[in-house]
Amino acid sequence: MEFYSPDSWREALEVKAAHPDAVPIFGGTDVMVDLNFDRERPGGVLDLTRVPEIQEWGHDNGRLRVGAGVTYTRIIAELGEELPGLAMASRTVGSPQIRNRGTVGGNLGTASPAGDALPPLYASDAEVELVSTGGTRRIPVTEFITGPKRNTMRPDELIAAFLIPKAEGPQQYSKIGTRNAMVIAVCAFGLVLHPEQRKVGACLGSAAPTPVRAREAEEFIEGVLEWDSREEIGESALGRFGELVGEAASPISDVRGTAAYRTHAVSVLARRTLKWAWDEYRRGE
């Protein structure tokens, strides 16, 4: 197996163009598991950890542009204020060791329906920046992920970054697992409030073949919330929001949980996170 270790982004793109079968690796927290279990025998491995360009984040036309190689630990420490939902999700990933190595770029590359970084990206209409020696394209994350562990990245492309608006209001992320830490989500839910636009973004994780936006639930609750008077949300509206989120689920039954449990649990998460986020908005935080 060839091992490529470029020092710059340009060189990494040239290696990928010349060796499209080389598997990119950053934290290796998914790739190494596959190699160790012999699930994958690639012709080459393309180590991106020496490429400084993808380990930076900054502002890009009013949004944040976060390099594919920014680890969960750094997202929590450096972007907790601007991306609270993604930081909450990052805190639930694995253990400190996994968060020190693992990246959102790797979560996108794996495209698991249970990837914890994905619901916050979906709920905020994030875009993925894909680059090859031929050029750059930015596509909505909803179009980037096409199925369980499938995405639209071409063999000559690499993920450079994701682009995401910074929080304009409260955000939440909640996850159910079979224990409190080091756990793949049984189901999860990400929520963002946009008070200025009177909009809500809601995304289910691990409850369908890909993360999925709960569009009907969003529209329903946007029509109910009293953004100016900041009135409390009634129990029946919270219940209906949860129900509509449950209807957006199309989960499977597996070792982690049954389809019926996932549908029920994700609607409970939706109700709770909406209450927490709205109460935060009411308090003016």
Ligand X SMILES: Cc1cc2nc3c(=O)[nH]c(=O)nc-3n(C[C@H](O)[C@H](O)[C@H](O)COP(=O)(O)OP(=O)(O)OC[C@H]3O[C@@H](n4cnc5c(N)ncnc54)[C@H](O)[C@@H]3O)c2cc1C
Beta bridge partners of 202: 191
Token pair recorded at residue 99: 């968060």
Residue 28 binds to ligand X (criterion: CB under 6 A): yes
Residues 6+ apart with CB under 8 A from 228: none
Which of 22, 64, 66, 68 binds ligand X (CB under 6 A)? It is: 68
Quick one: 56 or 231, whose CB is closer to ligand X? 56
Residue 268 binds to ligand X (criterion: CB under 6 A): no
Residue 190 binds to ligand X (criterion: CB under 6 A): no
Residues 6+ apart with CB under 8 A from 39: none
Residue 22 binds to ligand X (criterion: CB under 6 A): no
Residue 18 binds to ligand X (criterion: CB under 6 A): no
Which of 84, 85, 113, 115 binds ligand X (CB under 6 A)? It is: 115
In the range 91-110, which residues lie near ligand X by CB under 6 A? 92-94, 98, 101-103, 105-107, 109-110
Using the Cα atoms of residue 234, residue 263, residue 88 and residue 23 in order, give the sign of their dihedral: negative
Quick one: 99 or 213, whose CB is closer to ligand X? 99
CB of residue 67 vs ligand X: minimum separation in angstroms?
9
CB of residue 226 vs ligand X: minimum separation in angstroms?
35
Residues near ligand X, by CB under 6 A: 23-31, 33, 48, 54, 68, 92-94, 98, 101-103, 105-107, 109-110, 115-116, 158-159, 182, 184
